[in-house]
């Protein structure tokens, strides 16, 4: 796998973690993200079939600015009061699933053009909304203006 390294900004990084690595179907997931610089956060769920769902920003949580060394939590108490939760679910017809939360931090406000709003979360355009649409957009952002982290988790019935 080819890895981008030229032009990175060593002072711009993010730490991201979930409250667990293994979930049972229906368990609540809580994501914590701490950046080393002021930034704007986007969170995408990459499902086992490579479909992508945009979790942050969404129609209820569109302020995605996070100050350096402050922890961004999703969902937080305000989200829960609005009825927003993040629950693990095994796809229909399966007993287990392995998925990834892709956390993208940018130094400037951004718009992920391929994402459309559908319900609370944005679903990528196209018949199947695959990850390659997201990749095409991310690689156009200069590497020194972004920090990324993938957090993998498993779900079982």
* 119 Cβ contact partners less than 8 Å away, ≥ 6 residues apart: none
Is 89 within the bounds of a domain? yes
Is 101 within the bounds of a domain? yes
Is 3 within the bounds of a domain? no
Mean pLDDT value of segment 118-141: 60
pLDDT interval class at 16 (50, 70, 90): very high
Give the model's pLDDT for residue 2.
42
Is 8 within the bounds of a domain? no
Is 36 within the bounds of a domain? yes
Is 131 within the bounds of a domain? yes
Which domain range does residue 22 map to? Answer: 14-156
Give the model's pLDDT for residue 76.
92
Q: What pLDDT digit, counting tens, does each position of 97-128 carry?
A: 999 999 999 988 866 654 444 444 544 443 34
Is 105 within the bounds of a domain? yes
Judged on CB neighbours under 10 Å (0-12, 13-18, 19+), 42 is buried
**What's the pTM?**
0.82
pLDDT at 144 over 60: yes
CB 95 within 8 A of CB 157: yes
Q: Which CATH number do you get for residue 63?
A: 2.60.40
Looking at the structure of the chain, the number of domains it has is 1
Is 6 within the bounds of a domain? no
Give the model's pLDDT for residue 130.
61
Mean pLDDT value of segment 90-99: 92
């Amino acid at each position: 796998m080819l890895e981008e390294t030229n032009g990175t900004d060593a002072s711009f990084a993010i730490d991201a973690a979930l409250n667990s690595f293994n979930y049972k179907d229906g368990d609540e997931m809580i994501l914590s993200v701490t950046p080393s610089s002021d930034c704007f956060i986007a969170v995408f769920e990459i499902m086992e079939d490579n479909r992508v769902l945009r979790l942050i920003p969404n129609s209820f949580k569109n302020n995605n600015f996070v100050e350096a060394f402050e922890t961004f939590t999703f969902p937080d108490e305000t989200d829960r009061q609005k009825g927003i939760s993040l629950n693990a679910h095994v796809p229909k017809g399966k007993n287990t699933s392995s998925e990834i939360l892709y956390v993208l931090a940018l130094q400037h406000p951004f718009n992920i053009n391929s994402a459309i709003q559908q319900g609370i979360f944005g679903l990528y355009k196209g018949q199947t909304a695959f990850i390659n649409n997201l990749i095409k957009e991310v690689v156009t952002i200069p590497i020194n203006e972004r920090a990324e982290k993938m957090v993998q988790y498993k779900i079982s019935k």
